[in-house]
Amino acid sequence: MGHHHVSSSAMFFNVLVALLILTGITVGTSRIDFGAANMMIAMAIASVKASLVMAFFMHLKWDTAINKIIFLSSFLFLSLLFIFTFADHATRRMDTQWHVTKAPVDKQWVHPSQLVGK
Amino acid sequence: MSHDGHHSVVIPAPGPEFQAHTVAHHFDTPVQEFQSAKLGFWLFLATEILLFGGLFAAYFYFHEVYPETFRLGGQQLSWKLGALNTSVLLLSSWTMAMGVRCAQTSQKSKLLMYCGLTVLGAAIFMVIKFIEYKAKNDHGLVVFSELFSPYNEATGQLAWFKDYHNAMVDKAGVPLPHGHLFFAIYLTMTAIHGLHVVIGAGLILWVMKGAAKGRFHAGYYLPVDLVGLYWHLVDLIWIFLFPLLYLVP
């Protein structure tokens, strides 16, 4: 059947080698302290690895447009979950030291810009 | 003529060791059958992304609120075993991709071999996972026998979190806030992922049963393709779990 794409063995092997090398890079970069950037670096490498798996192992590169849209849209909806979760967190006062202070969180709402520390 | 008046479409077997495939009667063509199943399966995989996505949202949220708890929690896990399991899963994803390729090219014995290797990868992954869970249990970080015990009001921690060796304390010896939280997320995410590994291995065994009978060949390999997609999704999830849990950034 002409609509089926058969990938070459060499291509699959190259993708495997790339994935294993990227795993090594993930471990390597985690050893260096880049501060907050460590999370961005780890997630960027993971995204590249995930893209390789999706495009080549899962054949999404050669799949129909509708299948690409369906699967990739799940990441779009996921980003909505993340955006609203973190929008809530960024605008909420939380006492993360409750286990030391045992003090109740202020009942009165304070604008985030007025807070000394979250 | 079938009962509803349509001719059944039959895809002939490419050789004596294979079986012909009869297209299900509610499809007009093999292409329609193939594309319908693929569409449905991608929809299912999208819901899988959303299932794990909720857990990832929980991870990122609590990582943001309790960064030190997560950093120290991640150090309690063996990154070496995590990296080993990552490699095992990547290799098994490759063997599965090769298996699908062998189905597409009507290579029966190689299809069986690659599927067998993939199941072997799944087994090695679960054995390593078990060794890790056992260590967490022995250190009291996840006491499995008390998994469903109620919340401990006195300690403010979940009852299954004992921390026998005081691993989750700050420099002054004060327990870190919500030390149990990292391990609750670790356990939930890896256990649901592990369940997918077990289900995936079962599906591949089912594919092997059909492959042994010669059901899958260049003309019809749909079940191999779909089970392969499921297995790659398991790999996809782990690609994110490994750095987040074992190398907490």
A85-106: b (≥16 Cβ within 10 Å) or e: beeeeeeeeeebeeeeeeeeee
Residue A3 lies in a domain: no
Is pLDDT at B65 greater than 90 in this prediction? no
Does the pLDDT of residue B123 top 50, yes or no? yes
Place of tokens 């994803």: B93
Q: For all residues of chain B together, what is the average pLDDT?
A: 93
Tens digits of per-residue pLDDT, A56-88?
999 999 999 999 999 999 999 999 999 999 998
Homologous superfamily of domain range B44-246: Cytochrome c oxidase, subunit III, four-helix bundle (1.20.120.80)
Q: What pLDDT score does A1 carry?
A: 43
ipTM for the complex shown: 0.92
Q: What is the pLDDT of residue B221?
A: 97
Query: How many structural domains comprise chain A?
Result: 1
HSE toward the beta carbon, residue B210, CA cutoff 13 A: 17
- The answer to whether A79 contacts chain B (CB < 8 Å) is no
Report the pLDDT value the prediction gives residue B122, as an integer from 0 to 100.
98
For the four alpha carbons of A59, A61, A65 and A71, in that order, the dihedral sign comes to positive
Whether residue A16 contacts residue B91, with contact meaning beta carbons closer than 8 Å, is answered with: yes
Structure tokens at A31: 């050893």
> Could you tell me what percent of chain A has a pLDDT over 70?
75
What is residue B223's predicted lDDT score, i.e. its pLDDT?
Answer: 98
Please identify which residue in the block is written with the tokens 């290579």: B107
DSSP class of residue A4 equals -
Residues 5-64 of A with CB under 8 A from B: 6-7, 9, 12-13, 15-16, 19-20, 23, 26-27, 30, 38-39, 41-43, 45-46, 49-50, 53-54, 56-58, 63-64
Q: Which of B87, B236, B244 is nearest residue A23 as measured by Cβ atoms?
A: B87
Question: How many C-beta neighbours within 10 Å does residue B53 have?
Answer: 19
Query: What's the rounded Cα separation, in Å, for the pair A14 and A31?
Result: 26
- For residue B6, the model assigns a pLDDT of 59
Residue A4 lies in a domain: no
* Confidence class for position A100, pLDDT limits 50, 70, 90: low
| Structural domain harbouring A59 | 9-113
CA separation for the pair B62, B72 (Å, rounded) = 13
Distances (CA, A) of B11 to B33, B107, B215: 12, 17, 11
A67 found inside a domain: yes
Cβ-defined contact of B175 to A99 (cutoff 8 Å): yes
Query: Residue A117: pLDDT above 60?
Result: no
Asked if the model's pLDDT at residue B58 lies above 50, the reply is yes
In the predicted structure, residue B8 carries a pLDDT above the cut 50: yes
What's the CA gap between A21 and B68, in Å, rounded? 29
Q: Are B77 and A106 in contact (CB under 8 A)?
A: no
Q: Is residue B215 scored above 80 in pLDDT?
A: yes
- Token pair listed for B91: 């290799």
State the pLDDT at residue B170: 87
